[in-house]
A and B are shown apart, each in its own frame.
Chain A
Amino acid sequence: MEQLNIKTLEKKAFRSFFKDGIYDVFLGLILLSLGLPFMLNEFGWINYETITMPLLIPIIINAGALIFFIFCKKYITVPRLGIVHFGKPRKRKMMHVKLLLAISVLIGVITFLLSLLKVFPVGGTTGIPLPFIIFGIQALLVFSFMAYFMDFTRLYFYAFLFAVSMPLTFWLKKNAILTYPSLYVFSLTAGPMLVIGWILFVRFLRQYPNKAKAEGLR
């Protein structure tokens, strides 16, 4: 007889909200938004002389990704999966996630401001600028902890993809291995997230019809 484990049930119930693939698409879009200025720069469409375009592109895409995320969760996932309020242990875990994200944003902003002031050494032995190494380590740690607290296994893989994206791009650029390093690196890192996300999203829509709408339930 399979043991009835309440904790496992809670975990299963919480994880069911990752079946929709929306988190995957959202994270994929964020990573893509970070890589897009580098790609456009390699194609010669934008330059770094003015900070406006390299900053504006990620902001616009991130805003779009956030709107997509909120819209899909509210109008697609919740009507299909239902509403659930989790207990105190889960709320505590989610509090940890929010705290981690806040710290992560703070570190990101400080690193960005310091890099604008040219405090960090350029180049070094690896050729990777220090802010991008910080970004890689931070992404790996933050997303791994989030994966742990949220019981979201795929996020470990995404943590790795986020972590390698920037440092690898700069390493390839420095060693002149590829013509368009950003294009290849960000296609291979953001790409899998977007593909996995869309596959899950389509599967989710097929698997979970909108019962509330169809049968007037709630």
Chain B
Amino acid sequence: MSRQKKRDIQDLGRLLIIDRIIHEPARLMILAYLSAVESADFIFLLNQTRLTQGNLSFHLSKLEESHYAAIKKKFVGKRPHTMLSITEKGRKALKEYLKTMKGLIDSLVDS
């Protein structure tokens, strides 16, 4: 096996260590939007991501479980209001994920 091929396989091995929480397209999209703003509510994310209500709730719960997103619930009048924001951990994880993916894609495209 050539040295180049071995290096390519080692590079591809990095695929196994990528963050699977962020790797899911819907969650990546949610995190990307949350990283672009300070905070946003459920309706805003629903419109921007075009996900269904159930889907968005599910992925937000996953992100909250991983401490990548913070969910604050409060009442405005009689209505519950949910504000969402990306946590510092989430921001770091997103940055790391993008860096890893970019490196992987670049190495695949180059080889």
Contacts and interface: CB of A to CB of B under 8 A. Distances in A.
Interface of A: 1, 4, 6-7, 9-10, 12-13, 16, 79-88, 208, 211-212, 215-218
A218 B33 contact: no
B101 to A, nearest CB: 9
Contacts of A217: 42-43, 46, 53
Given A81-B47, A85-B39, A218-B43, A9 B53 contact: no
Contacts of A80: 43, 47
Smallest CB-CB A-B distances: 6 pairs: A82-B44, A82-B43, A10-B36, A9-B36, A84-B40, A85-B38
Contacts of B45: 82
B9 interface: no
Interface stretch (B10-18, B61-69, B73-81): B73-81
22 contacts: A4-B98, A6-B35, A7-B36, A9-B33, A13-B37, A16-B47, A16-B48, A81-B44, A82-B40, A83-B40, A83-B43, A84-B41, A84-B44, A86-B38, A211-B46, A211-B53, A216-B79, A218-B42, A218-B43, A218-B79, A218-B80, A218-B81
A13 B40 CA distance: 10
A13 B34 CA distance: 10
Interface residues of B, number: 26
Interface of B: 28, 32-33, 35-48, 53, 76, 79-83, 98, 105
A85 B40 contact: yes
Given A12-B48, A82-B44, A82-B45, 11 more contacts: A6-B32, A9-B32, A10-B37, A83-B83, A86-B38, A87-B36, A211-B43, A212-B43, A217-B43, A218-B41, A218-B79
B38 A83 contact: no
Select the residue from B28, B33, B43 with max chain A CB neighbours within 10 A.
Answer: B43
B61 to A, nearest CB: 15
A208 B47 contact: yes
